Amino acid sequence: MFSRPSLCGTVGKLCRCGTSTTGAAAAGGTTTSPAVSALALCEARRYHEVVGDIICPSQVRGIDHIRDPRLNKGLAFTLEERQVLGIHGLQPARFKTQEEQLQLCKIAVNRYTEPLNKYLYLSDLHDRNERLFFRFLSENIEDLMPIVYTPTVGLACQRFGLIYRRPHGLFVTFNDRGHIFDVMKNWPEPNVRAICVTDGERILGLGDLGACGMGIPVGKLALYTALAGIKPHQCLPIVVDVGTNNIDLLEDPLYVGLRQKRVVGREYDDFIDEFMEAVVKRYGQNTLIQFEDFGNHNAFRFLDKYRNNYCTFNDDIQGTAAVAVAGLYASKRITGKSFKDYTFLFAGAGEAAIGIADLVVKAMVAEGVPIEEAYHKIYMVDIDGLLTTTRKVGSLDGHKVNYAKDVEPMADLEQIVSTIKPNVLIGASACAGLFTPKILRTMADNNERPVIFALSNPTSKAECTADEAYQNTDARVIFSSGSPFPPVVVGDKTYYPGQGNNAYIFPGVGLGVICTGTHHIPDDMFLIAAQELANFTEATDIERGSLYPPLASIRDVSMNIAIGVTKCAYDKGLASTYPEPQDKRKWLEDQLYNFNYECSMPVTWTWPRMPYIKTRELVPTKLYGKKKNEEIL
């Protein structure tokens, strides 16, 4: 990312001189003086290492302003900037505004028909012109979010070995154990505030992709900046590479990660412990660590293990839960029911389903429902069927125990739906087509307005499509999905199904946590985020078939969530930034990233005219040698 200019002029001669005289000294010749050697060594180590959000123009010269994506403005450099910075003549004579560049970007990306090609264009733009990339993404989020994030990012991860060009994050391998802090020091930014980390074991619904999962934290943190205005230099994507159990990847000549089976057990846990300690040692206790796409068996363990000792959350558990509960809050405006009137059935009992169920319980308790009754309202199905108390000991691991029911075991989902008669059916199974037409029709027969969420992503893993949901329920369904679906026409009406995308949640939560310096992130913050998102959904959105506001308003949603998280942090004594701001919106806005180009010229200022003061006559200073009587003039 950073250029290393060659030495030239006197300094270059000194370095070359120092090299040659070293050989001469070995042959009995003269040696270079220590001062010259020190200067030569110092200059030999000089390279462009500009870090942070505020870059002093005097630190870099010439072509570095074009090579560094944080400094580059392309043809938007003014004539004065080109001349002063030493890049005049390195670009064509045309001068463009950022708005003209944005128009060109839109034309360029629309030339591609394949989503992966659009992804590659945006990645290249990110590498060339950071500020233009983030403004383009921020202002065209409806069109570009499916490219930089789900579903296209899944394909990018699958093709990662082929499309990898330059680093956008850190790869910390199991071979680095004992030296993870040294690896962390190699990242040039000293002020990292948010880290998104994955071990690549469960990338979306695609399974174990190992080190190729880097596309996920890169995409997540790009949305941190585009949607919440978190400064990009404060974000660090990381893959902890402990191997992969994907045989196809291990045999793939293009695979970029460790070619070994996954490390498990005590060694794996110790490695993650060392990683967490290295993050705090390098960047501080308040560094936000977002866990992403870890395996189900590790996700809850790490959340429970680290949540009270680090500033951390798991987006697959808590972020997914918040966006789903926001959709459920919005659905109450259609059904006229409260949560205590709902019976929930979850198809899938992984981290997403458990996370949603846990937050639903918290929401019901907030409405005055006893916690035992709240758990009783929720049924769950995994690969072996309905969770029941009669299962073998050990088969109900972790949080599943809370949702096991004292009923007859059932394995067929159609039978379970017919027997339980749920009001809400939520899919988080990554099993395409699980919600059959018969199941959808049964939901419609049992409910005037059935609530059906098909949350698995990417699109190829969804339990049903939006079209199937509307067609098999006479368009009475209240539908949400985890991946985008096209509009559905039923009769003379067009429905625009809403996407329950985590991107509604985690950028705003991240902004509030980072700005307040929160030490730990309680579930209350995600319930607040869900309520803020639901409040942003208008009647017109619901009328057109969406439980969520348009993606075009997602930056406003993120700000409202950040304000709610900020209030929660101060109310609960979790914030470390004091004094508490009175106008929290303005306080947050003052800390946001500026998407517009800034002046590249060094800051200059004038001094007042110096008054004339007559000075005394200059008299030579007398110095003394070893003896006082030896004067030296």
Annotated binding-site ranges for (S)-malate: 202, 457, 501
Catalytic residue among 220, 362, 377, 584: 220
Concerning whether 149 is annotated as a catalytic residue, the answer is yes
Given the residues 149, 310, 375, 548, select the one marked as catalytic: 149
The two tokens of residue 129 are: 């012109």
Q: Which of these, 270, 241, 272, lies nearest to 258 by C-alpha position?
A: 241
Closest to 548 in 3D by CA, of 330, 316, 378: 330
Distance of alpha carbon 449 from alpha carbon 477, whole angstroms: 6
Smallest Cα–Cα separation from 448: which of 480, 466, 423?
A: 423
Which residues are documented as binding site? 202, 292-293, 316, 457, 501
Helix (H) or strand (E) holding 290: strand 288-291
The β-bridge relationship of strands 385-386 and 378-382 is antiparallel
Give Cβ neighbours of residue 455 (< 8 Å, ≥ 6 apart): 320, 324, 352, 426, 427, 428, 463, 480, 481, 482, 500
One DSSP character per residue, 536-599 reads H--HHHHHTT-SS--GGGHHHHHHHHHHHHHHHHHHTT---S-SPPSSHHHHHHTTS---S---
Handedness of CA 451, 456, 457, 463 (dihedral sign): negative
Q: How many CB atoms lie within 10 A of CB 402?
A: 17
Q: Which residues are part of a known binding site for a divalent metal cation?
A: 292-293, 316
Residue 49's H or E segment, with its range, is none
- Is 400 one of the catalytic residues? no
The answer to whether the CB of 363 falls within 8 A of the CB of 325 is yes
If you search the block for the tokens 């029709």, which residue do you land on?
441
* Burial readout 357-393 (b: 16 or more C-beta within 10 A, e: otherwise): bbbbbbbbeeeebeeeebbebbbbbbeeebbbeebee
- Which strands sit side by side in the sheet containing 194-198, from one edge to the other? 170-173, 235-241, 194-198, 288-291, 312-314
Residue with tokens 């739906």: 417
For 540, counting Cβ atoms within 10 Å of its Cβ (0-12 exposed, 13-18 middle, 19+ buried), the class is exposed
DSSP 8-state class, residue 405: B
User: Measured in whole angstroms, how far is the alpha carbon of residue 509 from the centre of its chain?
Assistant: 11
Q: Where are the alpha helices (DSSP H) in 263-421?
A: 265-283, 296-306, 320-335, 351-366, 371-376, 413-420
Backbone dihedral region of 56: left (phi > 0), alpha (psi from -120 to 50 degrees) or beta?
Answer: beta
Number of CB atoms found within 10 A of residue 108's CB: 14
Token pair recorded at residue 299: 């996700």
Task: Return the active site residues.
Answer: 149, 220
